[in-house]
Structure 1
Amino acid sequence: MEKFFKRCSDLYVGVVGPATVVSVAYVDPGNFGANLEAGMRFGLGLLWVVWVSGLLAVAVQYVAGAVGIARGRGVLELVGGGWRPFLSPVLLAVLLATDMAEYVGVIAGLHLLLGLPISAAALLGFVDVAILAALADRRDLFAKVIGGMVAAIGLSFVAELFLIRPDPASVLAASFLPSISGDSALVAAAIVGATIMPHAVVLHSHLAPGQSRGEHGWQTLVNMLGASAINASILITSAYALGGSDVTLFEVPRVLEPLYGPLSAILFSLALLLSGVASSAVSVEFGVVAVKFITGRGVEAWRVRLGARLANLAPAVLAMGVAGLSPLSVLVYTQAVLAAALPVVLVVLWRLSGGVVSRWLRLVVAGAAAYSAALVVYSLI
């Protein structure tokens, strides 16, 4: 038994690294929102989008890290100040959109688990500022803690699938038979924005220098495919448990409990809270490099989180607590913002990847940019 646990520990340590920190962006509350919305409204119809986006994410994140390893610097350090007027608004929009998604997830998780009012949950949602400030300078521990949270989220949804028992044949068919319509295009764009995260692409290039290409490739493959499997599990859970319904994020556990028992509701709420807290890691780290690029000066991680959180406090409370806007709607729109920013980030990555990776991988990056841009345009017409 001791040898078994040691092997598990060695395996865990072997896959934990920059890709682990980045992968948590792929299971943030925005993913919950986009995939829950997709499952409720379109059943398994958009499951193929999750898998296609996940495979693209593996390639794109590999290229992002490879650029950082080969050049010794991240993409924002490589593009130079001439890009600042064009990229700064995009980076700021991405930072605020990601923080809003995480904040909504933390608020919803605290509300569901502890029964707190929205306003109280919003104030308590600042707790991740203190957590991140304590861990910011301990990178190895930071990555392991984040990896543990991602594993807990994944295990929660594995348990959900055992409780729900989806039909394997239907899941396989929906995974390989594409279909899309005008009504589903916005949600598909949100899934793309939630799955191929622009801030994760930028951040990976800044975290990867110092790794070997082999280690980077292995960790990227394992972590990105794991995140994609979690996203697929969220959509499948939604399709079977919530399909055809019109519930808010706060009502999901109340729908799950009578159908699949109290454990199902607790697992969902816990996974959502962990998702919001853990994914703060990526947006804070991204915010540090983004603010440095925008202002030309370095800034402490907790100041970035505090500033973004304060900027989103009033809009989040007003939207959900006063106006009664669905948290799912807030999450879907934040992911649509990320989808709109994604082509810009991928074009920059494509330009910097020349001579670093094969032309086929560069073609995948260009294709991902075109794919995301086409979905965004299609959702607007």
Structure 2
Amino acid sequence: MASPLHQPTDPTGVRAHVGIDGARPDAGWRRARETPSLAEAYRTVEVVRGSWFRKLLAFAGPGYLVAVGYMDPGNWATDLAGGSRFGYTLLSVILLSNLMAVLLQGLASKLGIVTGRDLAQACRDHYSKPVGVVLWLLCEIAIAACDLAEVIGSAIALNLLFGLPLTWGIVVTSLDVLLVLMLQHKGFRLLEALVIALIATVGLCFLFELIISRPDLLGVARGFVPTPQILANPEMLYIAISILGATVMPHNLYLHSSVVQTRRYELSAEGKREAVRFAFLDSTIALSFALFINAAILIVAAATFHRSGNTGVAEIQDAHKLLTPLLGVGGASTVFALALLASGQNSTLTGTLAGQIVMEGFLDIRLRPWVRRLITRAIAIVPAAIVSIVYGESGTAKLLVLSQVILSLQLSFAVYPLVLFTSDRVKMGQFANAAWLKALAWLVAIVIASLNAWLLLQTARAFFAE
């Protein structure tokens, strides 16, 4: 009899996945699982036997693909605004958002490992077809909005570094689709390695910015402690919720539940339990880097702009223009722009991958990867190019903010099914969320939905007041 690690499989890989403790794998679902998620990379990364550390290295990677979405250009504007206007106070919001992200991403990886379905497939197999189509459309809009922020961020970085006009920067940025295809064709580990290298680039850039900005360390420590002042000040609360909306990204939940299945872990109950543990550890470590980078952006903004009285800095171009003169260190602005370029390119790599996962998962449509990615990129590039041509820099800045509002609107439509599925004992068996975890997950889902609803209401009121 074949071992769980090398079970017989059909061409689609469906029979490679067994149920929990040998039970029927489709128990609790309206439809049977038909095809694996991200079929070209499914179970292609071997999990080596050996020490705990070697296993950790084997599972390391998917968490970093996910963490990229928590430090994309869409986060920069909210972090810059929070730091320049209110100093270190909103660091506690970044910490709280990151803790929520750790919880939700842990649930997403568990769903993928235990059920053999990514979140999109799980929605398709649980809900009726009309509901599934609506959820797919909402998710596609969110991915397009996220891709829009990444394209604009990369184009702004190219403009700041090389003086390339925004419109041409948007066109150049579109070519990274070809890079994703090339890397994935050569192996999923290579794609993960590039993403980790770009994260390290962003991290080193902001470590440099932190050192030269000389922040008030006591003020930074106090900033990580929540204060009632955030709730009492409407302007502060608005930016705080914007930070939350920009930090917890809906497409990352779909992405994570899929990419964890690239590991060839044992499909027994014990093998899945081990995979869940290592996947959670991988994403938690990776999200710690995202916490550092988001906090660093806010700290640099507070130490540079808030301290000098430039409390109105909220746009990336303004921050770039003022960094070198205010800090008195040559190259500070260039390093800032380099970090933005690395962040934007990193986010586009994972954003296009998420687009493929969502279309295949919800609709079970198998397009060639290059066709799927061209569609995703075209949806983002066309509005970005039009706005940059007609309105220039001011228009792209507003488009960046709008993209984050759209992401906030979609978030609950991803979080609610995720918590529902992972709390269902019929679907998850012994891996279903414990009572305390279920209560905590639902609390996070309700808080996110409430805060994002408030953010959307305030944004709409401000828009119609103009």
Give the structure-2-normalised TM-score: 0.75
Match of 2:303 among 224, 229, 240: 240
* Stretch moving more, 62-71 or 350-359: 350-359
Please state how far the C-alpha of 1:177 moved relative to its aligned partner. 2.5
Give the number of aligned pairs: 373
1:44–1:330 Cα change, 3 Å: farther
For each residue in 1:99-155, what CA deviation from the matched residue of structure 2 results, as whole angstroms up to 9, or x when unmatched? Answer: 101101110111111111112212211121121121123201111110111111111
What amino acid sits opposite 2:352 in the alignment? V
Change in CA separation of 1:173 and 1:329 when aligned onto 2, cut-off 3 Å: farther
Q: Is the 8 A contact 1:106 1:272 kept in 2?
A: yes
Larger deviation, residues 369-378 vs 160-169: 369-378
Q: Please name the residue that 1:161 is paired with.
A: 210
Who is 2:7 aligned against?
none
Using the aligned pairs only, state the percent identity.
28
Per-residue displacement from partner, 1:336-356 (whole Å, max 9, x unpaired)?
221221112111001110243
**1:375 aligned residue (427, 448, 451):** 451
Match of 2:291 among 213, 216, 228: 228
Is the contact made by 1:65 and 1:205 (CA closer than 8 Å) also made in structure 2?
A: yes
Q: Which has the higher contact order (CA 8 A, sep 6+)?
A: 1
1:12 Cα deviation after fit: 9.6
1:167 deviates by 0.4
Say whether residues 1:202 and 2:254 are aligned partners. Answer: yes
CA RMSD of aligned residues (A): 2.2
Stretch deviating more after TM superposition (214-223 or 241-250):
241-250
1-structure distance, mates of 2:369, 2:343: 19
Report the TM-score, using the length of structure 1 for normalisation.
0.91
Consecutive unaligned residues in structure 1, runs of 5 or more: 1-8
- In structure 1, C-alpha distance between the alignment counterparts of 2:208 and 2:184, rounded to whole Å: 32
Kindly report which structure 2 residues correspond to 1:1-381, keeping only aligned pairs within 5 A, or say none. 13=57, 16-79=60-123, 80=125, 82=128, 83-137=131-185, 138-178=187-227, 179-180=230-231, 181-209=233-261, 210=263, 211=265, 212-243=275-306, 244-246=311-313, 248-260=315-327, 261-324=329-392, 325=394, 327-354=396-423, 355=425, 356=431, 357-379=433-455, 380-381=457-458
Partner Cα separation in structure 2 for residue 242 and residue 11 of structure 1: 44
Aligned partners of 2:72 and 2:347 also within 8 Å = yes
Larger mean Cα displacement after TM superposition, 79-88 or 155-164 = 79-88
Question: Can you list the C-alpha shifts for 1:226-274, whole angstroms capped at 9, x where unaligned?
Answer: 1111111111111222331346322322211112223211111011001
Q: Aligned to 1:208, what secondary structure does the other structure show?
A: helix
Q: Runs in 1 of length 4+ with deviation above 4 angstroms?
A: 9-15
Distance 1:248 1:213, change over 3 A: closer
Distance 1:279 1:12 in 2: 24
Residue identity opposite 1:206 in structure 2: S
Bigger drift between 92-101 and 335-344 goes to 335-344
User: Aligned in 2, Cα 1:316/1:242: closer, same or farther, shift over 3 Å?
Assistant: farther
Quick check: 2:142–2:410 contact (8 Å CA) kept in 1?
Answer: yes
Tell me: CA distance 1:251–1:12, structure 2 relative to 1, closer, same or farther (3 Å).
farther
Equivalent AA in structure 2 for residue 110 of structure 1? L
CA-CA distance at 1:291 after TM superposition? 1.4
What letter corresponds to residue 133 of structure 1 in structure 2?
A: L
Deviation, structure 1 residue 297: 0.5
CA distance in 1, matches of 2:297, 2:317: 16
Contact 1:40/1:238, CA 8 A, preserved across alignment:
yes
Letter of the aligned partner of 1:248 in structure 2?
A: E
The answer to whether the 8 Å contact 2:250/2:407 transfers is yes
Counterpart-to-counterpart distance in 1, 2:368 and 2:90: 40
Name which one, 1 or 2, has greater alpha-carbon Rg. Answer: 2
